[in-house]
Amino acid sequence: MTRKPVAFRIEDESPTKPPSAKAKKTATRSRRKPRAIPADEMVIEPEDFDSAPMAGALEPQATQTITKTIRWGAIFFSAFFSLLVMWASLTFMKLVEDLFARSQVLGWIATGLLSLAGLAALVIILREIFGIFSVRKISTLQEQAEIARNNNDQKTAKQVITKLRRIYADRDDLTWGLAALKDHETDIIDGRDRINLAERDLLQSLDEQAGQIIASTSRKVTLLTAVTPAAILDILFVAAQNMKMLRQLAILYGGRPGTIGTFKLAGMVASHLAVTGGLALTDNLIQQFIGKGLLGRLSARFGEGAVNGILTARIGLAALDLTRPIAFSSELKPDLTDFLKNIVSFKAGSDENVKSS
Amino acid sequence: MKLSDLTDGTRIAFGNVGDFASDLVSPSLRLGVTGLSRAGKTVFITSLVHNLIHNGRLPLFTPHARGRIKRAYLEPQPDDDLPRFAYEQHLKTLTGSDKTGSDRQWPQSTRRLSQLRVTVEYTPQGFFARNIHGGKLHIDIIDYPGEWLLDLPLLNQSYEQWSTATLATSTKAPRDKLAKNWRSFTQTLKPAEPADEADAVKAASLFTDYLASCRDDEFALSSLPPGRFLMPGDLEGSPLLTFAPLKLEAASKAPSGSLHAMMQRRYEAYVDHIVRPFYVNHFARLDRQIVLVDAMTALNAGPQAIGDLKTALSDILASFRQGENSILSSIFAKRIDKVLFAATKADMLHHHSHDRLENILSLIIEDAANRAQTTGAGFDVSAIAALRATRETTLEHKGESLACITGIPASGEIIGTDKFDGTAQAAIFPGDLPQDPAAALNGSLQDTLHFVRFRPPVIKAAKPLQPAPALPHIRLDRAMQFLLGDHFQ
């Protein structure tokens, strides 16, 4: 059966009957061919073929060729940690008991302290779990946005926008962007354009701040590498600064990674760099030039510092790709050269020079 | 290469050198708006200008959305010999003359070339823009009937070639029936005999009737050169338009004083006095082009109309000078570097189906698109409604939900057994567009689609102390971004 054109007369001003849930489902069904297969035998996908979500298409699924064996290492560690926890609780219990034996007051104080510590530990654990989830949430959102953009899928785009608005609902620096987004919520806009609009209205102002974070961190790294006396201090310092930058970036874009979340993010950044590193040939040339070339001739320490600074900027760029809820559209994507100038120029207030992309 | 190609080229180059020089100081952008008749050119221009001037809702037009456009206003156009696009008058027709807008209607189709200059002041970004011209862009909108473009291939055709081709197409269905009168008369003419003006007049008027009947809604054919026969303007009755194809023997020479010779002379005069000046003075100087296509009417009329639209659009596209502009080429031979194909009247359809409409349009302009892509011109397809006359709604009907549009159907529109009077509101379900666009060409859509024309929407009057609301639209901002967005540097 093909649907014939129909007209409905409208008497009053509010003609619409809200569609039932079932009716809503049929609305998205694709066009029916006349009498090909009896309707009750037909199973129709809810989406058109070409707009079917390609979730998981971004990374190849690992084939399950490895047969499952007993993971002795995991058993060892969980058993060992359980023992450790038992030992710790026993020790604390004993301590409290001893204190009670000695004096009622001390005992109660110890109990109080112990439960406070327990509560704090619980909160920390919960926060870490939330942190890991929030890192994951951003990456699924990113995936969804990419699907909406590539397939020009209106429905997915609307879902992405709703999620974004939830993430940024309590940010007062984004009030204007959120209002702009809400303003054209009901307009007829393609999925691709809707994502681009969200990117422009919400994320572009954040990109500016992100650029400043990256630039100031890499400048700090450059300077401090140049002045620290021992190489081991360098490494510690660079690592700490980079972790701090990752965390700042994630928070800026609406993620709330805890310590473990930040480490997870660092892992993701490392693998991202490993994948994209091959493409950044030109960056290496720049590093050669700055590190071993001109600057290196002037001062070996300073050359090293510049290399570390560039490395930090590259880590920052990779982190941008991972923490931003919508992947950069091609014309907005910043590259290393946007930061280079800032790394080697130490004018006061050069933060403002960062390209606001 | 013919001598005329060479001289045309030189004249175009001179014109372009002049444009380039004046662009340095006050940049201008020549936007060509075309489409076959009733495609919605007038409404498109009116709505575009209105939205620019009245600060419309244009979230996808980046310079506007970023607040970089300070103001836009109409200015006297640069070419004094062209009629001005009657913006105010068309706007009044669209919105109605009184507050309730009871006499609002779609504007009459324009049948001639016209021009309008909108000047936009914006915050410049580049060094050059800041210091030389201070952020001012003139947008010269040039509106011309698409039928004229169908004449451009005549520049390279001799009378004999044109005659044979026109006679050949007139034997194909559904044209064969419409051309019967004219063809039987042509059979009686003897091209080699001395010319008789009465014969020529009769042949020309029968030929014109045939072309006109092809254009009727029922058939909605598009590929009908020569274009001035259907929109003669002040040339009506002049010898320029008093010629028709003749049945000629292969490789026959025209004896002087014969009917053949007279027709040939008039054909050449038509090409020289009408087609070539349009090409050299206006068409070859465009920067950007939007081609409006009324796919809805063609879909209503059936697969032949779609097929014919496809032919016409391919012919139109063959005449565009597309390609990326380099500095040298923009001085000497300007090319159109971006072409947008827009399926207009997308408001006759629920937005869920817009993708499918775009697919059908892509299929219609397939040949044209391939050409555009090989020449490096930017190219896009979009379903738009320059003036949105409907709202969307979902209705439940016999257990299934129908994505409908509501509005006031124009008087005389019929769907099923319902006839509309132009005052009642109605929800229309126009049928499902096919998922496979090829279905629009192979005729399997018979009687499954019917699009209804709506009256223009009532534009609410401005509230006190607030600016007048701009005309509502669908994806006009996207079209503007594609066509104009990169010029606000």
Taking only the tens place, the pLDDT of each residue in B51-76 is 999 888 888 898 988 888 999 999 99
How many pairs of residues across A and B have Cβ atoms under 8 Å apart?
118
Query: Residue B418: which of A7, A183, A190 has the nearest Cβ?
Result: A7
Round to whole Å and give the CA distance between B271 and B261.
15
| Complex prediction ipTM | 0.74
The band of B251, judged by pLDDT with boundaries at 50, 70 and 90, is low
Round to whole Å and give the CA distance between B351 and A188.
7
Tokens coding A12? 């009053």
The band of B133, judged by pLDDT with boundaries at 50, 70 and 90, is low
Structural domains in chain B, CATH included, are 3-144+282-388+474-487 (3.40.50.300), 150-276 (no CATH), 391-442 (no CATH)
Q: Mean pLDDT throughout B270-275? A: 87
Of the listed ranges A299-303, B183-187, B321-325, the one predicted with least confidence: B321-325
- Chain B residue with the nearest C-alpha to that of A180: B59
Provide the residue-wise pLDDT of chain A in tens; the chain has 357 residues: 457 777 777 765 444 444 444 444 444 444 443 444 444 444 444 443 444 444 444 444 555 555 667 889 999 999 999 999 999 999 999 999 999 999 999 999 999 999 999 999 999 999 899 888 888 888 899 999 999 998 888 889 999 999 998 888 888 888 888 888 888 888 888 888 899 889 988 888 898 899 889 989 988 888 888 888 777 888 888 899 999 999 999 999 988 888 888 888 888 888 888 776 645 555 555 656 555 556 666 677 777 787 788 888 888 888 888 889 998 887 777 777 777 666 655 544 444 444 333
Long-range CB contacts for residues A334-337, cutoff 8 Å, separation at least 24: A334/A207, A334/A211, A336/A280, A336/A283, A336/A286, A336/A310, A337/A286
Give per-residue pLDDT as tens, B445-482: 777 788 888 988 888 777 777 777 888 999 999 999 99
Looking at CA atoms only, how far is residue B298 from chain A in angstroms?
16
Q: Which residues on chain A are in Cβ contact (under 8 Å) with B452?
A: 7
Residue A158 lies in a domain: no
Query: Residue B395: which of A2, A8, A180 has the nearest Cβ?
Result: A8
What is the model's pLDDT at position B9? 72
Instruction: Please give the single-letter amino acid code of residue B63.
Output: P
Q: Mean pLDDT throughout B75-89? A: 88
Residue A234 lies in a domain: yes
Query: Residue A5: which of B352, B395, B416 has the nearest Cβ?
Result: B416
Round to whole Å and give the CA distance between A330 and A176.
24
Contact assignment for A27 to B60 by CB distance below 8 Å: no
Give the distance, in angstroms, between the CA of residue B127 and the centroid of all CA atoms in the same chain.
37
The band of B322, judged by pLDDT with boundaries at 50, 70 and 90, is low
Query: Residue A16: which of B352, B393, B425 has the nearest Cβ?
Result: B393
What is the model's pLDDT at position A49? 40
Q: Mean pLDDT throughout B63-91? A: 89
What is the model's pLDDT at position B50? 93
Mutation for testing the B interface, residue in A9, A13, A178, A187 having most B CBs under 10 Å: A187
Who wins on pLDDT, A64 or B296?
B296
- Spatial CA neighbour of A53 closest among A230, A191, A165: A191
Give per-residue pLDDT as tens, B196-247: 888 888 888 888 888 888 877 777 777 777 878 887 777 777 888 888 888 8
At residue B18, does pLDDT exceed 50? yes
What does residue B329 show for φ and ψ, rounded to 5 degrees?
Answer: -70, -30
Instruction: List residues bridging with B431 in a β-sheet.
Output: none
Q: Which residues on chain B are in Cβ contact (under 8 Å) with A183?
A: 57, 59
Percentage of chain B lying above the pLDDT 90 cut: 13
Tokens coding A353? 């020079």
Q: Is A173 exposed, middle or buried (0-12, 13-18, 19+ CB in 10 A)?
A: exposed
Number of domains in chain A: 1
Contact assignment for A183 to B59 by CB distance below 8 Å: yes
Looking at CA atoms only, how far is residue A203 from chain B in angstroms?
14
Round to whole Å and give the CA distance between B227 and B110.
14
Contact assignment for A2 to B448 by CB distance below 8 Å: yes
Q: Which residues on chain B are in Cβ contact (under 8 Å) with A184?
A: 57, 59
What is the model's pLDDT at position B325? 54
Round to whole Å and give the CA distance between B428 and B416.
11
Looking at CA atoms only, how far is residue B153 from chain A in angstroms?
37
Query: Residue B475: which of A8, A16, A188 has the nearest Cβ?
Result: A188
Query: Residue B432: which of A3, A23, A188 has the nearest Cβ?
Result: A3
Round to whole Å and give the CA distance between B11 and B21.
16
Residues composing chain B: 489
Residue A225 lies in a domain: yes
What is the model's pLDDT at position B478? 92
Contact assignment for A31 to B416 by CB distance below 8 Å: no
Query: Cis omega (within 30 of 0) on the bond before B226?
Result: yes
Residue A43 lies in a domain: no
Establish how many alpha carbons lie within 13 A of residue B146's alpha carbon, considering only the half-sphere containing its beta carbon.
Answer: 29
Q: Which residues on chain A are in Cβ contact (under 8 Å) with B421?
A: none
What is the model's pLDDT at position B421? 81
Looking at CA atoms only, how far is residue B475 from chain A in angstroms?
7
3-class SS at A159? helix
Domain that holds residue A214: 205-353
Query: Residue A188: which of B351, B395, B447 has the nearest Cβ?
Result: B351
- Spatial CA neighbour of B90 closest among B48, B153, B139: B48
Contact assignment for B65 to A152 by CB distance below 8 Å: no
Residue A59 lies in a domain: no
CB B293 within 8 A of CB B364: yes
- Spatial CA neighbour of A32 closest among B439, B392, B303: B439
Round to whole Å and give the CA distance between B167 and B197.
21
What is the model's pLDDT at position B139? 93
Contact assignment for B428 to A5 by CB distance below 8 Å: yes
Residue A317 lies in a domain: yes
Residue A210 lies in a domain: yes
- Chain B residue with the nearest C-alpha to that of A24: B401
CB A254 within 8 A of CB A142: no
Looking at CA atoms only, how far is residue B57 from chain A in angstroms?
8
- Spatial CA neighbour of A163 closest among A52, A329, A330, A326: A326
Q: Which residues on chain B are in Cβ contact (under 8 Å) with A189?
A: 59-60, 475
Residue A223 lies in a domain: yes
Mean model confidence pLDDT for chain B: 82
CB A280 within 8 A of CB A311: no
What is the model's pLDDT at position A144? 92
